[in-house]
């Protein structure tokens, strides 16, 4: 099956997905911790991210939005991400055997040196108080998704057995851009995975389209076994 044929199928499927996405209203769930004042009205992010990390990220988005510091906080979270990847820092703040108070102090000392805003410091303190520091990376990823949506970016991940050449990549971009709303841009992430054998796997937001050869073979094998 050629990529051109796959793109035609993908164009149809993506069209259905984008109609669904554009008609769906995403409401952020209320968050009970104190990243923002409990009595304050929550500023809802443009998309909802589920799970515990989504609730923390929603509260952070609301607090940063009210102070017009969304971009600043996003940049600061990049520093936080680098901190938790540091072996020495990670061995303390992500270690379940280290006292919570020591984790919090170690993190706060590092954040002070990094000169981040009180909003970001408050997030880490809330995570520490609730024993959720291990979710720091997940919260950062959730906030990143919200910021992408805030900028009008539609994140699309495409996996193929082999890297796409320039011609196929251009054709894919054209197929995707045809379904964007005004003010939206595609944030395309491509990767190769030889194990899918052929075809492609496309992920847009929380939507997933598997047109890989591997999946087709698995379905065919299952059908043969059941007959």
Tokens describing residue 203: 């992920």
C-beta separation of 146 from 60 below 8 A: no
Q: Which residue has the higher pLDDT, 37 or 182?
A: 182
Task: Work out the percent of the chain whose per-residue pLDDT is above 90.
Answer: 42
Domain boundaries, the chain: 3-24+152-226, 52-148
pLDDT surpassing 70 at residue 143: yes
CA distance linking residue 211 with residue 94, whole number of Å? 39
- Residue 15: the pLDDT is 60
C-beta separation of 69 from 150 below 8 A: no
CA distance linking residue 67 with residue 114, whole number of Å? 20
Average pLDDT over residues 162-168: 88
pLDDT surpassing 90 at residue 28: no
Residues 63-120 pLDDT 10s: 999 999 999 999 999 999 999 999 999 999 889 899 999 999 999 999 999 999 999 9
202 forms beta bridges with 158, 209
CA distance linking residue 151 with residue 146, whole number of Å? 9
pLDDT surpassing 70 at residue 38: no
Q: Which residue has the higher pLDDT, 14 or 211?
A: 211
Residues 198-218 pLDDT 10s: 888 988 766 788 888 888 888
Q: What is the DSSP letter of 26?
A: P
Hey, CA dihedral for 145, 148, 150, 154, is it positive or negative? negative
Task: Work out the percent of the chain whose per-residue pLDDT is above 70.
Answer: 81
Class of the CATH-defined domain 52-148: mainly alpha
State the fold for domain 3-24+152-226.
Answer: 60s Ribosomal Protein L30; Chain: A; (3.30.1330)
The whole-chain average pLDDT of the chain stands at 82
C-beta separation of 106 from 95 below 8 A: no
**3-class DSSP state for residue 104?**
helix
Query: Poorest-confidence range of 23-37, 88-102, 110-124, 163-177?
Result: 23-37
pLDDT band at residue 173, thresholds of 50, 70 and 90?
confident
- Residue 178: the pLDDT is 72
Per DSSP, helices labelled H in 70-161 are 70-85, 87-93, 100-114, 118-129, 136-150
191 forms beta bridges with 159
Sheet holding 153-160, edge to edge: 185-192, 153-160, 199-204, 207-212
Burial 4-24 (b: 16+ CB within 10 A, else e): eebbeebbeebeebbeebeee
Q: Note whether 3-24+152-226 and 52-148 share their fold.
A: no
Q: Which residue has the higher pLDDT, 21 or 130?
A: 130
C-beta separation of 210 from 157 below 8 A: no
Other C-beta atoms closer than 10 Å to the C-beta of 91 total 11
208 forms beta bridges with 203
**3-class DSSP state for residue 28?**
coil
pLDDT surpassing 80 at residue 169: yes
């Amino acid at each position: 099956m050629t990529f051109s044929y796959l793109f035609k199928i993908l164009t149809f499927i993506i069209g259905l997905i984008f109609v669904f996405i554009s008609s769906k209203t995403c409401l952020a769930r209320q968050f009970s911790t104190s990243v923002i004042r409990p009595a304050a009205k929550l500023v809802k992010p443009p998309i909802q991210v589920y799970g515990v990390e989504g609730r923390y990220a929603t509260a952070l988005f609301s607090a940063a939005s009210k102070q017009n510091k969304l971009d600043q906080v996003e940049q600061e979270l990049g520093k936080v991400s680098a901190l938790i990847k540091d072996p020495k820092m990670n061995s303390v703040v992500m270690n379940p055997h280290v006292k919570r108070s020591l984790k919090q102090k170690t993190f706060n000392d590092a954040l002070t040196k990094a000169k981040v805003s009180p909003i970001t410091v408050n997030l880490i303190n809330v995570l520490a108080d609730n024993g959720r520091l291990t979710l720091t990376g997940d919260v950062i990823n959730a906030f990143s998704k919200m910021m992408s949506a805030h900028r009008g970016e539609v994140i699309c991940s495409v996996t193929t057995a082999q890297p796409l050449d320039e011609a196929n990549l251009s054709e894919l971009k054209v197929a995707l851009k045809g379904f964007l709303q005004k003010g939206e841009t595609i944030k395309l992430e491509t990767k190769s995975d030889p194990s899918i054998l052929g075809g492609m796997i496309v992920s847009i937001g929380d939507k997933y389209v598997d047109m890989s050869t591997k999946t087709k073979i698995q379905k065919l094998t299952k059908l043969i076994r059941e007959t």
